Chains A and B, each alone.
Chain A
Amino acid sequence: MPQWAILLTPFLYLGLLFAIAYWADLRARSSRSLVNNPYVYTLSIAVYCTAWTFYGSVGRATQDGVTFLTIYLGPTLAAVLWWVVLRKIIRIAHIHRITSIADFIASRYGKSMLLGGLATFIAVVGITPYIALQLKAVSASFDVLLYYPEATTGAATGGLLEDKALWVAAVLALFAILFGTRHVDATERLEGMVVAVAFESIVKLIAFLSVGIFVTYILFNGPMDLVDRVAAEPAMREMLNPSGLPGGYTSWVAMIVLSMAAILFLPRQFQVTVVENVNEDHLRTAAWLFPLYLLLINLFVLPIAMAGLIYFGDAPVDPDNYVLALPLAEGRELLALFVYLGGFSAATGMVIVASIALAIMVSNDLVMPTLLRFRHMPLIERIGLRRLIVYLRRLILILLLMLGYTYFRLTADAFALVSIGLISFVAVAQFAPPILLGMYWKGASRAGALIGLTGGFIIWLYTLFIPSLVDPAWLPGMTPDGLFEGLHLLNPQALFGLTGLDAITHALFWSMLFNIGGMVLVSLFTRQSNIERIQAALFVDVFERSERDARFWQGTATVGDLEALLARFTGEHEAAEAIRDYARRQGAPLEPNQEAPPDLINQSERILTGHIGSASARVMMSSIVKGEALTFEGVMEILDATSRAIEYSRRLEQKSRELELATAELRAANQRLTELDRLKDEFVSMVSHELRTPLTSIRAFGEILLSGKDINPDQQREFMQVIVKESERLTRLINQVLDLSRIESGWGDWQLKDLDLRGVVEDAVSATSQLFTDRGVTLEWRQPDQECPIKGDSDRLIQLVINLLSNAVKFTQPERGPVHLTLQPLDTMVELQVRDSGPGIPTQEQQRIFEKFHQISDQQAGKPKGSGLGLAICKRIVDLHWGTLDVESVPGEGATFIVRLPLAGGDHCDISRDTEHR
């Protein structure tokens, strides 16, 4: 392939990227946005996979085996928490118009300029090497492509102008300027950038999969072939061991934690996941799709590493370049070129997003606050703040990329890809404590965050960054063993005597200890200012409070002043639009010399925040607002009034629900009472009727006998017999009513004992034997051989059996056959049956016969009537013994009453006898 073609390809590719970004911006302007799509969102998050992934993973795998995976396991695990943590960050950022990680920290801790500046400084220092790393990868891989097989060990840097990395950096700067600084308002989405990056994510994935498939399945015979060959070589076998990472499993954990922090807090990740997020729901898709992307792009890392080791053996080929060298060695130039574009995509995507994110940070949190102090300088007045900001951002972008390039030139040959990336990771991990603690702990204070960040950053500088720069060749005074000769406790590789950890784990441990420790301790012992407490409450309770709650200007400003201030940053048209929009929503026009409502002041501040960061916006607002900002108590009062109202109405709703429930219960209870009352009335009325009947006969005959007229002796005798019989009936009735009321009231004076039901039956049979004899009816009964142990009251049970037997004998004609009584124990029950051969009971009556005073209307004439209480009493006795009483009958063929009682020893026996049953 001609050299000019290879030289031209990456620039053509960048041209394509420009076209895509331009097209996306066009679509965004015509309201056909491409980024409101969870897949584009997820692909843009894949900017996480840089040249480090593309080239470095293979290199790492050749040394440490599968441990390269830790960097991707962390984000995969973190994705589980996205819906909780990341969604909260996104919500906060959108409400407060936060556009960078530094601004997030500054805003949370009372819109602190100092913190914003510090965070920006850390980000720049921490990320610049990472940008350099990408430039290095672009340049080195280019050399491999051009000069294979001569240049396979790394970069061969020539003169400045011949350096491809410089040209690439320049084109990337142009891209970033065009698509990253289009708007002043950083909250306006950089759709072109996002779509271009998403496109690059596709290219790098396909490129890596292509080379992976080529190496694994064309060059070799599948993954098992590779594993077998590696296992056969003792020197290579080590890479299959998962504990190969120096430091063992401690390092595994450290790497996973580190990358979990990185996926959230790397400035470029914050840019794509938070600032560019259009819809929180996209997180749902990203939470599974992004891990899947990571899995795919890592699928062939190990096979390629193994293939490279086997293929090149001892030949001097840098493992970082295996993905290119393998196709080149096989003469597949086109595949190699495509792979190169994949790596190029990975590198440029990172550089573009990272540099834009850093530029916004630097302009809003470092430069702007300073600049605003001199805002009345003639030069600034002449250019206009709005244009000044744009120029500044462009300048900053160029400077940042120059910084990265310089770093690359200075340290070009010093490191492998991985170590620089990890050093950056530890730097951004310093943001985790102030952000996470700040989101969930209102007590986290500005002073705490300052001390913690500073402490963690200094540890990072001392244990990682400076040692990485210390090249004995050009800094002979410093050695990695100790910045200060003789002070072993301060050895940057083994701080305070802590040894046995690899450099990254060691640095992470100490920096986090100082960061978190400092932050927590200082926060506990410092008092927060009003604005800190307000911001803390707004951040921590972001889901509970609405956007409009965030008002804390007590002072006054005129509408005209506000509009003028806005116009300086947003342009006159937009400023006037913002004021008109507010007036429209309020339904009343606003005059320029009118005092602005507090809501409008707050809204204006948020608009400014989007343009120049929260700290600067606050400075600007305080310049025109006369009077104090509200006190913390004042703001809390406003916030709490809202939440109190919500809480109050919530309680009211709950109360009214409870009330409805109580009403329903009362109504039901009342219904039950009414029903009981009716039953009681009915009972009394029935009793009264039943008592009056025998009394009527007694009185009538008594009076007849007393009058003594026209009665012959036979009649006299007959009448007196009636009186005696009816008196007996009366007595029986009264006794049964009393029985029933005793049984109705529950356990009363019952004697619960362990009984053998056979004894009960025997007693009942002997008590009714006279009755049977009188009526001339025979009783056939059989007792089982085994015991029928039950728990119960012997007297009641005898009464039960007597009632059943009396009933049976009452309805049985002697000539129609005997009454049968059988008793038999079943599994858990004992069953007692009394069968008569009387007229039977009509089906429709079978349930009602157990009701009190229910008499079957169709009784044979002349039969002695019962009280109508006997079966009701039986039923109640059986109920209280946890049993059942049923009747089976075919009219004309007699009736069978069946009692089933549980055998002793069941659960029911534990029930206290005081417990009212049913």
Chain B
Amino acid sequence: MAKTVLIVDDEPNILLSLEFLMKQSGYVVQTAENGEQALEMIRQAPPDLVLLDVMMPRKDGFQVCQEIRQEHDTGSVRIIMLTAKGRHSEQETGLGLGADDYVTKPFSTQDVVHKVQRLLGD
């Protein structure tokens, strides 16, 4: 069965590009434009992996990550953070909150795909 990837970003064009890449790699893709929407979707049907942007209005990526890890049902979801500031501290914060990996914008498409595949054991 194809694995599910949830992409969360408030930039429609980035969403568009990631959606294309993940579909190309054979995953089932869901998208969300902000953190709250993302959490709702995860609770209803936990995906296998979340590509999570950090800088989003209302609820940022760190908060979303934290809440995913705290809840039992969703605890095992793989998370890759998408960071934009390119600061070391930002990456560490993400990993500290329980993210499995991170990708820095602007990212290499190959790199993103590889990291997703590795985490999902493909």
With both beta carbons as reference points, the residue of chain B lying nearest to A729 in the complex is identified as B13
In the complex, how many residues of chain A place their beta carbon closer than 8 angstroms to a beta carbon of chain B?
28
Contact B107 A700 (CB under 8 A): yes
Contact B85 A726 (CB under 8 A): no
B36-58 with Cβ < 8 A to chain A: 55, 57-58
Q: Name the A residues within 8 Å of B109 (CB-CB).
A: 699-700, 703-704, 707
Residue A29 lies at the interface, judged by CB distance under 8 Å to chain B: no
**A692 CA to B105 CA, complexed, in Å:** 6
With A695-B105, A859-B57: A700-B18 Cβ-Cβ less than 8 Å: yes
Residue A689 lies at the interface, judged by CB distance under 8 Å to chain B: yes
Q: Which 10 A-B residue pairings sit nearest by Cβ, starting from the closest? A: A857-B57, A700-B17, A696-B106, A697-B13, A696-B105, A699-B106, A703-B109, A695-B106, A692-B84, A692-B105
Q: Name the A residues within 8 Å of B84 (CB-CB).
A: 688-689, 692-693, 696
Interchain CB contact (< 8 A) of A704 among B21, B58, B87, B106: B21
**A418 CA to B110 CA, complexed, in Å:** 125
With A685-B87, A695-B106, A699-B106: A858-B57 Cβ-Cβ less than 8 Å: yes
**A503 CA to B85 CA, complexed, in Å:** 104
Judged by DSSP, the binding face of B is loop
Contact B20 A693 (CB under 8 A): no
Contact A709 B24 (CB under 8 A): yes
Min Cβ gap B70→A in Å is 23
Min Cβ gap B2→A in Å is 16
With both beta carbons as reference points, the residue of chain A lying nearest to B34 in the complex is identified as A861
Min Cβ gap A463→B in Å is 102
Known pairs A699-B108, A707-B109. 4 more at Cβ < 8 A? A689-B84, A693-B105, A699-B109, A715-B20
Contact B107 A699 (CB under 8 A): yes
Contact A700 B21 (CB under 8 A): yes
Residue B64 lies at the interface, judged by CB distance under 8 Å to chain A: no
Q: Name the B residues within 8 Å of A688 (CB-CB).
A: 84-86
Q: Name the A residues within 8 Å of B24 (CB-CB).
A: 709-710
B70-112 with Cβ < 8 A to chain A: 84-87, 105-110
Query: CB-CB contacts of A680-718 with B at 8 A, as 1s and 0s?
Result: 000001001100110111111101100101100001000
Between B11, B21, B55, B105, the greatest number of chain A beta carbons within 10 A of the residue's beta carbon is seen for: B105
Min Cβ gap A688→B in Å is 6
Contact B14 A704 (CB under 8 A): no
**A698 CA to B107 CA, complexed, in Å:** 10
Residue A862 lies at the interface, judged by CB distance under 8 Å to chain B: yes
Chain A interfacial positions (CB closer than 8 Å to B)? 685, 688-689, 692-693, 695-701, 703-704, 707, 709-710, 715, 719, 722, 725-726, 855, 857-859, 861-862
Residue B16 lies at the interface, judged by CB distance under 8 Å to chain A: yes
With A695-B106, A697-B14, A703-B108: A685-B21 Cβ-Cβ less than 8 Å: no
In the complex, how many residues of chain B place their beta carbon closer than 8 angstroms to a beta carbon of chain A?
24
Q: Name the B residues within 8 Å of A692 (CB-CB).
A: 84-86, 105-106
**A744 CA to B106 CA, complexed, in Å:** 29
**A859 CA to B14 CA, complexed, in Å:** 18
Between A697, A725, A859, the greatest number of chain B beta carbons within 10 A of the residue's beta carbon is seen for: A697
Q: Name the B residues within 8 Å of A699 (CB-CB).
A: 106-109
Q: Name the B residues within 8 Å of A685 (CB-CB).
A: 85, 87
5 contacts between A and B (CB under 8 A): A692-B85, A696-B84, A696-B107, A699-B109, A700-B106
Min Cβ gap B25→A in Å is 10
Q: Name the A residues within 8 Å of B107 (CB-CB).
A: 696, 699-700
**A862 CA to B110 CA, complexed, in Å:** 28
Contact A693 B11 (CB under 8 A): yes
Min Cβ gap A160→B in Å is 120
**A428 CA to B110 CA, complexed, in Å:** 116
With both beta carbons as reference points, the residue of chain B lying nearest to A702 in the complex is identified as B109
Interchain CB contact (< 8 A) of B14 among A700, A707, A715: A700
With A700-B21, A704-B109: A693-B14 Cβ-Cβ less than 8 Å: yes
Contact B14 A696 (CB under 8 A): yes
**A858 CA to B86 CA, complexed, in Å:** 25
Contact A698 B58 (CB under 8 A): no
Min Cβ gap B63→A in Å is 13
B16-33 with Cβ < 8 A to chain A: 16-18, 20-21, 24, 33
**A261 CA to B53 CA, complexed, in Å:** 97
Min Cβ gap B18→A in Å is 7
Q: Name the B residues within 8 Å of A696 (CB-CB).
A: 11, 14, 17, 84, 105-107
**A857 CA to B10 CA, complexed, in Å:** 11
Interchain CB contact (< 8 A) of A857 among B16, B17, B58: B58
With both beta carbons as reference points, the residue of chain B lying nearest to A856 in the complex is identified as B57
